[in-house]
Structure 1
C-alpha cells in the first residue's frame, strides 16, 4: 500500500487538516470518528516523500501564508497543529499548496529513499527542452510560472527606470 498525503475537512469546526500516513484506511477511519471527511488525497512513492510533502505544505501555510493552527490539542489530540481555519483559507487552496509541495518534492534530486531515475549528469550540464519528460505537466507549469515571474521582474525594472528618468 502506498503512503498518502491527504486533506480532510471538518464541517462542524469549519477546519481543514493536512496529513500523511502509510496506512490510509486505518487513519481515515480513526479521524472519521472525530467528524473529519476526506477532501482529497495523493498517493506518493515513499513514507519519506509523504512526510516531506506534508512538512513543506505546513511550512507554506504557517510561514508564507501566515495561517495559524486552528484547533487545540483538546479538540484533536493527534494532528491539531496540522489544521487551518476555512475562514482564512479554503480547502481548495490547502489542496493546491499540497500539490505545489508535491511537485517541488518530486522534482528534488534525493528525498529519503526516493531517488529519481536516471540521475542527472553532474558538472556543467545545461538543461534542454527535451530534458523534462512531456508526461510531467507540473514541470511545464513551473517553467511557465518561472518565465512569467522573470518577465514581470524585467517589466518592473523598465517601469522604475522610466519613472526615474521622468523625475529628473
Structure 2
C-alpha cells in the first residue's frame, strides 16, 4: 500500500491537464494556489497516512505510550488503592539495567531525582527526571522497585496535609475620602 502511494506521489504531473494545473493566466502574488499544489498536498497527506498506519511504525507505538502515561502520572502522583491514598509513580527505564539507574531524594527541596546512563561502543542513552514530592508524603518513606518489565516504581504512604483554618467571613472597613 505504501509503495503504491510513493509511486503515485512520484508520478509525473504531466498527466494532469494544463487547465487543471491552474496555469491559465498569470498568478497573482496572493492569488489562488492552483490545483497542482492541492494535488501534491493530497498525495503527501495520503503518503503520511499510509506510513503511520504501516506495521513498522505501529510496532513502535508501545514505546510512545509509557511516555504519555508517565507525564500524566507525574502530574497526578496521589492515587487511591484499596481505599487508601498513596503516592505512586512509575517510570519506563527498560533501556537501562538496574545498576545503571540512580535514585535520590532531597528532603529539604522535596525533590525525587531519577538518573540513568548507558553507554557502549555503538550508542549511549541518558534519562533524567526530577519530580516534586507532594506535601503529605514523607521523602524518607518512599520505596523504589525495579520490575522485570523495566519499570521503576515508587510508593509511599500519603496523609492529607493539615489545612490552615481561614476565617469564614471578615468585614472590611471602607475608607471614605
Structure with the greater relative contact order (CA < 8 A, sep ≥ 6): 1 or 2?
1
TM-score range, shorter-chain basis?
under 0.3
Which has the larger share of strand?
A: 2
Which has the larger share of helix?
A: 1
TM-score (norm 2): 0.23
TM-score (norm 1): 0.24
